[in-house]
Amino acid sequence: MSLLIEHLEFALTVDAADTVIRDAAIVVDGDRIADIGPTADVLRRHDRNRFERVIDGSRHGITPGFIDSHVHLSETLSRAVFPDDLDTRTWVFLWAKPFYAHVNAEDEHVGALLGCAEMLRSGTTCLLDMGAQNDPAGTVRAIEQSGIRGITGRHAADNRPASPPPGWSEEMMRHHFFPGPDAALAALEETFERWHNAAHGRIRCWINIEGKEPCTLALHVGARDLAEKHGVGTTYHLATSIEEARISQSKHGVWPVQRLAEAGGLGSNLVIAHGVAINPHERQLLQAHDTKIAFCPGTSLKLAKGATSIGGYPELLDAGVTISLGTDGVSASGNLSLMRQMYLVAGLFKDARNDPAIIGARKALRMATIDGARALLWDDALGSLEIGKKADFVLFDLDHIEWTPYADPVQALVWSASPASIAETWVDGRMVYGDGKLQQIDERALYREARLRAVAITERAGLTGKSIPTSTSLYE
């Protein structure tokens, strides 16, 4: 089906020159962008009467769909369950892990669907999911049903702690840890073969692992090698806190990224989630190997990761490292809105370094779109509004308080707008969010079910908060 959206007030193409088109038109043919430019030029190239549908885009602006390069779809039922005064390792080991150990397959599907719903409502059209706790069938089904695009996988770990912390059962340990890297990689390869290119290619499957202490070095290295063999990527958590770096220093004599580099684990198909504790030498290693970083500003704020105090994100950008944005799980950051991450990254470092020229709106938009596409190894088809790319985009309602008035649309998008002024979200040439609702999901029924399941999981996991320690020395 071919359609024309004409007289859009602006189009932020995020092409190589950051071209902004005024009075723009876009032609969508099937799932692709067939043309884009000023309305007058596009109408000179096409016979307006031959379109199956013509949409008046007046008082609307268009941007590429946002790309979330680090999310845990399976964690969406844990919103605001854990306290907000925990450090990263306590949060992960004593709260998150017991919670997820009690998430069953149908919980996981409901949580993933809920996550996709929030993302589409926030303008996110493509995601890199860390992976399901077990087989990703439920996650794949959720991505397919919701209409979003994404990469998923299966969560894997292979390094059991010497003694399990409170809340960890033997059943959970069996469920969570493979006996070694070979067993984990065999399961990941099977998962890849089963799910890669599902939903006519809208879903891809990567060789993802959990990363850091719960995984052996061999699994980190092996995951990237296996991904390379299959022409895909891998993503995992690494250098996520200064405590992790300190423990690595005392146990191995080097910080996590250098340790990985020395084992041959870096490469252009690796996306490191967080990467907050990275020293200047490691920055050069990442640049040399074109390894990407998925920065999650919301999680840094909530879990006190020190993004601005110890994080070298502006210096990584200066070194030429690709940094994309992620929301992380909903319990880590509180929400799945990439627009909020874009706002945070635009300003965090200006303030921390007392320098108004760091990052800003234009770069933040690139990080939320084309740089995300690059991290996901999908920039040939996603991340910008250019002829031949997939028709994944967001239409903003400019007759909205957030846009009244505005002059520079890039600044207004990043500093003023929120998902509240999103009119429509399109994926693969189809409107999947519009008229105030998701087009393919019964949201009210989903919300009801999600609430019931969240309470049940919290009870099953025993996370009442009464007897759970507030610090941990696990893996030290």
Write out the residues near Zn ion by the rule CB under 5 A: 328
Least Å distance, CB 70 to Zn ion, is 6
Pick between residue 63 and residue 333 the one whose CB is nearest to Zn ion.
333
Pick between residue 328 and residue 428 the one whose CB is nearest to Zn ion.
328
Q: Are 146 and 116 in contact (CB under 8 A)?
A: yes
Q: Are 125 and 393 in contact (CB under 8 A)?
A: yes
Least Å distance, CB 128 to Zn ion, is 11
Least Å distance, CB 362 to Zn ion, is 27
The C-alpha angle with vertex 387 and arms to 386 and 393, in degrees rounded to 5, equals 50
Least Å distance, CB 341 to Zn ion, is 13
Number of residue whose CB is nearest Zn ion: 328
CA distances from 298 to 231, 308, 336, 460 (A): 31, 12, 9, 28
Pick between residue 273 and residue 468 the one whose CB is nearest to Zn ion.
273
Least Å distance, CB 368 to Zn ion, is 18
Pick between residue 31 and residue 328 the one whose CB is nearest to Zn ion.
328
Least Å distance, CB 162 to Zn ion, is 24
Pick between residue 328 and residue 392 the one whose CB is nearest to Zn ion.
328
Pick between residue 108 and residue 328 the one whose CB is nearest to Zn ion.
328
Pick between residue 8 and residue 215 the one whose CB is nearest to Zn ion.
215
Pick between residue 181 and residue 298 the one whose CB is nearest to Zn ion.
298
Pick between residue 328 and residue 424 the one whose CB is nearest to Zn ion.
328
Residue 38's CB: how many other CB atoms inside 10 A? 14
Pick between residue 118 and residue 328 the one whose CB is nearest to Zn ion.
328
Query: What does the H/E/C string look like for the chain?
Result: CEEEEEEEEEEECCCCCCCEEEEEEEEEECCEEEEEEEHHHHHHHCCHHHCCEEEECCCEEEEECEEEEEECHHHHHHCCCCCCCCCHHHHHHHHHHHHHHCCCHHHHHHHHHHHHHHHHHCCEEEEEECCECCCCHHHHHHHHHHCCEEEECECCECCCCCCCCCCCCHHHHHHHECCCHHHHHHHHHHHHHHHCCEHHHCEEECCCCCCCCCCCHHHHHHHHHHHHHCCCCEEEEECCCHHHHHHHHHHHCCCHHHHHHHCCCCCCCEEEEECCCCCHHHHHHHHHHCCEEEECHHHHHHHCCCCCCCCCHHHHHHCCCCEEECCCCHHHHCCCCHHHHHHHHHHHHHHHHCCCCCCHHHHHHHHHCHHHHHHCCCCCCCCCCCCCCECCEEEEECCCHHHCCCCCHHHHHHHHCCHHHEEEEEECCEEEEECCEECCCCHHHHHHHHHHHHHHHHHHHCCCCCCCCCCCCCCC
Least Å distance, CB 237 to Zn ion, is 5
Residue with tokens 């994309």: 324
Q: How far apart are CA 204 and CA 232, in angstroms?
A: 9
Residue with tokens 């200066």: 318
Least Å distance, CB 296 to Zn ion, is 7
Least Å distance, CB 256 to Zn ion, is 15
Least Å distance, CB 131 to Zn ion, is 10
Least Å distance, CB 332 to Zn ion, is 6
Pick between residue 332 and residue 414 the one whose CB is nearest to Zn ion.
332
